[in-house]
C-alpha cells in the first residue's frame, strides 16, 4: 500500500530543464520529510536535497549548485525537484525518499529514509 513513485525524467540536451515529481500514497504525507538522491555507475549514491514536513525547511547538499530546487505540495502528496541548466554530469537515476519526521534526529544526507521509489532516469546528452 505504501508507495513512492518518481517520474519526469528522460533524455534531454545540455541546458534543458526538468521538473521531477515524487507522488506518495499509503501514508500521511504531511508527516514525512522528503528527499532526492541520485546514483550513476560512475558515482555512489549522492544526496541532493531534502524538505522537512512541519516547517517546510529545505536542505541542500554542499556539493551542488543552485540549479536544484526541492519543493512539496502536501495537498497533492507530491514532492518536486526542479533542475535547471542540465549538464552531462547530471546523468543518473534520481530517487525520492521519505522519512517520518517524528522519528529522526535531523533531515539531510544521513537521515534513515523509510521509503524509496523506483527511480526516474535522467540522461543529458547532445
* Mean local confidence (pLDDT), 26-49: 95
- Cell output for 11: 533524455
Summarize the confidence of residues 6-15 as an average pLDDT.
98
C-alpha cell at 98: 521519505
Tell me if 113 sits within 8 A of 98, measured CB to CB.
yes
pLDDT band, very low/low/confident/very high, at 104 (cuts 50, 70, 90): confident
Residue, of 90 and 55, whose pLDDT is higher: 90
Cell numbers found for residue 106:
535531523
Mean of per-residue pLDDT scores for the chain = 94
- For residue 72, the model assigns a pLDDT of 96
Q: Are the C-beta atoms of residues 90 and 69 closer than 8 Å to each other?
A: no
> Measured between alpha carbons, how far is 106 from 20 in angstroms, rounded to an integer?
24
| pLDDT over 70, % of the chain | 100
| pLDDT at 85 exceeding the cut of 80 | yes
d(CA 78, CA 47) in angstroms, rounded, equals 19
- The x, y and z cell numbers of residue 94, run together, are 534520481
User: What pLDDT, on a 0 to 100 scale, did the predictor assign at position 67?
Assistant: 96
Strands 115-116 and 32-40: unpaired
Closest by CA to 92, choosing from 5, 4, 12, 29, is 12
Amino acid at each position: 500500500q505504501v508507495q513512492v513513485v518518481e517520474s519526469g525524467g528522460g533524455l534531454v540536451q545540455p541546458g534543458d530543464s526538468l521538473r521531477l515529481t515524487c507522488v506518495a500514497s499509503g501514508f500521511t504525507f504531511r508527516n514525512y520529510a522528503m528527499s532526492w538522491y541520485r546514483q550513476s555507475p560512475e558515482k555512489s549514491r549522492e544526496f541532493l536535497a531534502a524538505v522537512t514536513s512541519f516547517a517546510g525547511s529545505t536542505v541542500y547538499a554542499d556539493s551542488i549548485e543552485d540549479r536544484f530546487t526541492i519543493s512539496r505540495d502536501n495537498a497533492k502528496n507530491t514532492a518536486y525537484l526542479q533542475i535547471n541548466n542540465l549538464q552531462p554530469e547530471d546523468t543518473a537515476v534520481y530517487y525520492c525518499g521519505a522519512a517520518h519526521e517524528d522519528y529522526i534526529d535531523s533531515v539531510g544526507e544521513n537521515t534513515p529514509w523509510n521509503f524509496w521509489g523506483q527511480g526516474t532516469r535522467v540522461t543529458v546528452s547532445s
